[in-house]
Amino acid sequence: MDKEVKFSTLALQSVRPPHTRIKPISPPIHLSTTYERNSDGTYDEGYVYARNDNPNRRLLEQSAAQLEGGAVAYAFASGMAAIHTILQALRPGEEVLLPEDVYYNVRLLFKEVFEHWQLKMAVADFTDLNKVEVAIQPNTRLIWIETPSNPQLQITNIQSIARIAHQKNCLVAVDNTWATPVLQRPLDLGADMVMHATTKYFGGHSDVLSGLIILKEQNDFSEQIHRLQKLSGAVPSPFDCWLVTRGIQTLSLRVKAQSETAFALARFLDQHEAIERVHYPGLATHPQHEIAMQQMKNGFGGMLSVLTKGDARTIANRLQLFTAATSLGGVESLVEHRRSVEGEGSKSPENLLRLSVGLEAFEDLKWDWERGLDEK
Ligand SMILES: *Cc1c(COP(=O)(O)O)cnc(C)c1O
């Protein structure tokens, strides 16, 4: 392509199948686990064995690298498998700095798995840059950012943290699951790698579990990720990859529409007398609204959370269009009481409900909440 195209065009172009004589428009699904070797021992397209590489995964990885502006990307069987691989690429004795509000299972992964392997974890308030700077130790190797964060929608300044981190020789990883590259491109802001639970917005239809790591540069660290992907084998199936590349075709359209509806709902709930507080980075009252304005574009995402005045679980059960279920990023609206799901040790307030806004009409979703919050 001679023209530098917009994101939505790039997304469509990036998942077109490679040219063959059959010329399909939609990529074929290659289920074969193994590929024929030429008599001289070579392989025409480089495919040998499906755990190492296969056409559907390669298409997804190449697309993801383009969408995030990275050099290379690697696909995994879930978001957690991707996170696990990043941590596995670190060494015993090294430390990872995490924000206070972060996807719950990341903390659990440290506690239940990596602590035994002598990988250390420290936590700091990422909304205060001084606190981040002070928390970095000589053995800190990686700073893990999640913005907007789950479930309190805190915003971390990626550019500032990356600057501090690089002065101290730390790597920066951003979990970009909630924002997606439609709204935020962490590699452009100085991060070294981006991680996605493509189970969420990339897949977009609540029917595929998978993850991605996109790295800004191809270097020793990215090669280590690649080796771990091939050796550990926590890879998505060709059909999983196909579903995610299909999701990429409508990613931009979905995320923009979901962001618009979520913003309207956030404004509505923010004014509602039965709601104590709304966490949404688009609201001018959000503590890090200015940072969100700087580092996000096209909207502030389809996720929000609210603190209710009445019993949160009772309200969630009264909703009809928001289904009570975990996960997010699908076309259908979901509501979740995070504290119940996170269980013991949860830092989520008892009156917090997390909303994943789908593609339903705003008027209908508003009606659902009006009804749900009406005590009578
Ligand atoms: C869901 C999620 C994950 C984990 O992804 P899985 O595919 O469920 O393993 C990680 N980070 C964030 C922000 C998520 O929402």
* Residue 331 near residue 204 (C-beta atoms within 8 A): yes
The Cα–Cα gap between 323 and 337 comes to: 11
* Residue 337 near residue 323 (C-beta atoms within 8 A): no
* pLDDT for residue 134: 97
Whether the per-residue pLDDT at 33 is higher than 80: the answer is yes
* pLDDT for residue 343: 83
Whether the per-residue pLDDT at 28 is higher than 90: the answer is yes
Reported confidence tier of residue 1, pLDDT bands at 50, 70, 90: low
> Which mutation among 146, 150, 209 tests ligand 1's pocket best, with the greatest number of atoms within 8 A of CB?
150
| Active-site residue identified among 120, 200, 216, 254 | 200
Give yes or no: 103 in active site.
yes
* pLDDT for residue 346: 84
* pLDDT for residue 2: 74
The Cα–Cα gap between 29 and 244 comes to: 12
CA-nearest of 238, 212, 237 to 225 is 212
Give yes or no: 47 in active site.
no
Give yes or no: 175 in active site.
yes
Determine the length of the chain.
376
Rounded to the nearest integer, the mean pLDDT of the chain is: 97
Mean pLDDT of 4-26: 95
Q: Each residue of 2-41: b (16+ CB within 10 Å) or e?
A: eeeeebeebbbebbebeeeeeeeeebeebeeeebeeeeee
Q: Tell me the CA–centroid distance for residue 179 and ligand 1, in Å.
A: 13
In the structure, which protein residues have their CB atom closer than 6 angstroms to any atom of ligand 1? 78-80, 103, 146, 150, 175, 177-178, 197, 199-200, 209, 211
> Which mutation among 200, 207, 235 tests ligand 1's pocket best, with the greatest number of atoms within 8 A of CB?
200
- Could you give the strand order of the β-sheet that contains 334-336, starting from the edge strand earlier in sequence? 275-279, 303-308, 352-356, 334-336, 323-324
| Active-site residue identified among 47, 103, 104, 280 | 103
The Cα–Cα gap between 249 and 9 comes to: 9
Q: Tell me the CA–centroid distance for residue 150 and ligand 1, in Å.
A: 10
Reported confidence tier of residue 334, pLDDT bands at 50, 70, 90: very high
Q: Tell me the CA–centroid distance for residue 324 and ligand 1, in Å.
A: 18
Whether the per-residue pLDDT at 376 is higher than 70: the answer is no
Q: Tell me the CA–centroid distance for residue 79 and ligand 1, in Å.
A: 5
Q: Is the backbone peptide bond immediately before 148 cis, with ω within 30 degrees of 0? A: yes
Ligand 1, atom 6, lies closest to the CA of 79
| Active-site residue identified among 35, 53, 104, 175 | 175
What atom of ligand 1 comes closest to residue 80's alpha carbon?
9
Among 66-80, 203-217, 342-356, whose mean pLDDT is lowest?
A: 342-356
For 233, the token pair is: 């084998």
Residues 251-287: pLDDT tens digits? 999 999 999 999 999 999 999 999 999 999 999 999 9
pTM: 0.97
Residues 47-71: pLDDT tens digits? 999 999 999 999 999 999 999 999 9
Whether the per-residue pLDDT at 375 is higher than 80: the answer is no
Residues 285-330: pLDDT tens digits? 999 999 999 999 999 999 999 999 999 999 999 999 999 999 999 9
Reported confidence tier of residue 84, pLDDT bands at 50, 70, 90: very high
Residues 338-369: pLDDT tens digits? 999 888 888 899 999 999 999 999 999 999 99
Residues 148-193: pLDDT tens digits? 999 999 999 999 999 999 999 999 999 999 999 999 999 999 999 9
Whether the per-residue pLDDT at 8 is higher than 80: the answer is yes
The Cα–Cα gap between 110 and 232 comes to: 18
For 61, the token pair is: 């990885």
Give yes or no: 44 in active site.
no
